[in-house]
Amino acid sequence: MIPGVFTYHRPSSVAEAVAILANHGDEARPLSGGHSLIPMMKLRMAAPEHLVDLGGIAALKGISEDGDTITIGAMTTQHELIGSDLLSAKLPIIRETALMIADPQIRYVGTLGGNVANGDPGNDMPALMQCLDASYVLTGPDGDRQVAARAFYEAAYFTALAPEEILTSIRIPVPAAGHGYAYEKLKRKVGDYATAAAAIVLTMNGGTVGMCSVALTNVADTPLFASEAGDILTGSTLDAATVKRAVAAAEAITQPASDGRGPAEYRTKMAGVMVERALARAAERARS
Amino acid sequence: MSDIEQIPVTMTVNGKKVQRFVEARTLLIHFLREELNLTGPHIGCETSHCGACTVEMNGMSVKSCTLFAVQANAAELTTIEGMANADGTLSALQEGFRQMHGLQCGFCTPGMITRAHRLLQENPNPTEDEIRMGISGNLCRCTGYQNIVKAIQYAAAKLNGTEFQEAAE
Ligand SMILES: Cc1cc2nc3c(=O)[nH]c(=O)nc-3n(C[C@H](O)[C@H](O)[C@H](O)COP(=O)(O)OP(=O)(O)OC[C@H]3O[C@@H](n4cnc5c(N)ncnc54)[C@H](O)[C@@H]3O)c2cc1C
Ligand code: FES
Ligand code: FES
């Protein structure tokens, strides 16, 4: 379990990091927390020739609020997300989700940027970012561009990120005060990736749903934004028939693999169950 | 082999400054065990699951099998070898593990104690549930965790100057 040989770079600015990536193209990879990449390197499933450690770039850390947008630096760790008062007040679903990722040791080191850039359908943050309609700021040799989380994921480990780009921050529109939220994750044990998981954010006006956003983790080779399920629920009173239709719409877009977490049919059904539970909890938490 | 680049690293480990040259791919656990002869941190799974390799780095509990030694450059590290009190007596946690029978084979213990140390720094008065979630990255194949939880409760009580009361089972 010894990784292959590589050249180690530790730039102190984003520009420097991007220049190194641009020089080495596909042979180079950014290293954030390393808690997805190093296990792959130990298994020799990844063997980058150059590692660009982003740990020395202070500008990539931190959480800030600007008007209706919260910006989270890519190198912000899951532990820091959990401890953030700003996120607990404005985007509590991030804390709820982060607490379901891996275990304390991994959360001290694993970063939000690494989690969303990785492209592993098992990661929990990508679906959450789709649910929240976040965008990713990608910085390359020609400057910044923004890609919506909902348009970022192409296939397992294939994303809109170019080899010479770094994901530098995540921008999240703040949901309305009093919104309801829930991340429901079925897993076999602490530290496991999801058998299926669902993220929901909604608002309630009296007894009707003002807006509702639904996304799913680990039931396809990318995270899934379940737009139809959200549309069905919007404007409804969350009556049983409508919930049933929305759950069916969410299940219909899943394409899970059959693996140690269960056969595909089971995981599709569990995605539906997670949507139903998340919906109930989100509605209960919403203030109208 | 000898043309693999050697990178200088400096860190403070258990209060002592150390300086070495390492290959970039050297994992922190191998550096600690093989370069510094600190064999307290164990290698259980090598796959980031078991927590036997847990050490304290800059105020975080980390799995040293999943970090490169170069990432710990300039860091402050504490391993189980650095957990005893300055006068050499057992720390509250070590005493707790002894008194409450918190270990059997002892393989997981260095990681457990190192992790529990950080847990109590962040949460000096944890509930049983918080203790269990706090050590959820550490596996023990022997104890069934019951006595590990008690050992941590014992240590918390000692550090808080309160009396440890064993819950009825
Ligand atoms: C035992 C175990 C259990 C886990 N369980 C879960 C879980 O339940 N849910 C979950 O979501 N995750 C889980 N993880 C993964 C963990 O959350 C990782 O930390 C996370 O997926 C990646 O973040 P990182 O900072 O460690 O990234 P790294 O491992 O450093 O990087 C991951 C990938 O993204 C690329 N990358 C990293 N940062 C950037 C950037 N800023 N710009 C461009 N590319 C970048 C890297 O080149 C690499 O390809 C688990 C990990 C372990 C070891
Ligand atoms: S040896 Fe590091 S987690 Fe098991
Ligand atoms: S005491 Fe044997 S593994 Fe924990």
Query: Tens digits of per-residue pLDDT, B72-122?
Result: 999 999 999 999 999 999 999 999 999 999 999 999 999 999 999 999 999
pLDDT bin (cut points 50, 70, 90) of residue B38 is very high
pLDDT exceeds cutoff 80 at B1: no
Q: Is there a contact between B62 and A109 if contact means CB atoms under 8 Å apart?
A: yes
Beta pairing class for A28-31 and A50-53: parallel
Tokens matching residue A185: 């994750």
Domain of residue A254: give its range.
180-287
What is the model's pLDDT at position B119?
98
Encode B96-109: b = buried (16+ Cβ within 10 Å), e = exposed: bbebbebbeeebbb
Mean of per-residue pLDDT scores for chain A: 97
Distance B109 CA to ligand 1 centre (A): 27
What is the model's pLDDT at position B139?
98
The ligand 1 site (C-beta within 6 Å) comprises A 29-37, 39, 54, 74, 101-102, 106, 110-111, 113-115, 117-118, 123-125, 161, 166-167, 191, 193; B 48-49
pLDDT exceeds cutoff 90 at A39: yes
Give B39→chain A minimum CA distance, Å: 18
Nearest by CB: B62 against A51, A53, A105: A105
Fold of B6-82: Ubiquitin-like (UB roll) (3.10.20)
What is the model's pLDDT at position B2?
57
Q: Which of A121, A138, A173 is the last residue of a domain?
A: A173
pTM of this prediction exceeds 0.90: yes
Backbone angles phi, psi at B155, to 5 degrees: -65, -40
CB contacts of A39 in chain B (<8 Å) are: 47-48, 66
Q: Which helix (H) or strand (E) holds B133?
A: helix B128-134
pLDDT bin (cut points 50, 70, 90) of residue A144 is very high
Give B134→chain A minimum CA distance, Å: 7
Residue type, B168: A
In this predicted model, what pLDDT tens digit does every residue of A145-162 receive, in sequence order? Answer: 999 999 999 999 999 999
pLDDT bin (cut points 50, 70, 90) of residue A288 is confident
* ipTM higher than the 0.90 cut: yes
Asked whether the beta carbons of A209 and A203 are under 8 A apart, the reply is yes
Q: For the domain that residue A140 is a member of, what is the CATH number?
A: 3.30.465.10
What is the model's pLDDT at position B168?
61
Asked whether the beta carbons of A216 and A247 are under 8 A apart, the reply is no
User: Is A263 among the domain residues?
Assistant: yes
Q: Are residues A36 and A65 in the same domain?
A: no
pLDDT exceeds cutoff 90 at A260: yes
pLDDT exceeds cutoff 70 at A127: yes
Question: How far is the C-alpha of A67 from the C-alpha of B38, rounded, in Å?
Answer: 50
pLDDT bin (cut points 50, 70, 90) of residue A233 is very high
The count of structural domains within chain A is: 3
User: Is A1 among the domain residues?
Assistant: no
Tell me the average pLDDT across A77-82.
Answer: 98
Q: For the domain that residue A237 is a member of, what is the CATH number?
A: 3.30.390.50
Pick the CATH number of B92-160 from 1.10.150.120, 3.30.420.40, 1.10.8.420, 3.40.50.300: 1.10.150.120
pLDDT bin (cut points 50, 70, 90) of residue B166 is confident
pLDDT exceeds cutoff 80 at B141: yes
Share of chain A above pLDDT 90, in %: 97
Q: Are residues A189 and A153 in the same domain?
A: no
What is the model's pLDDT at position B169?
59
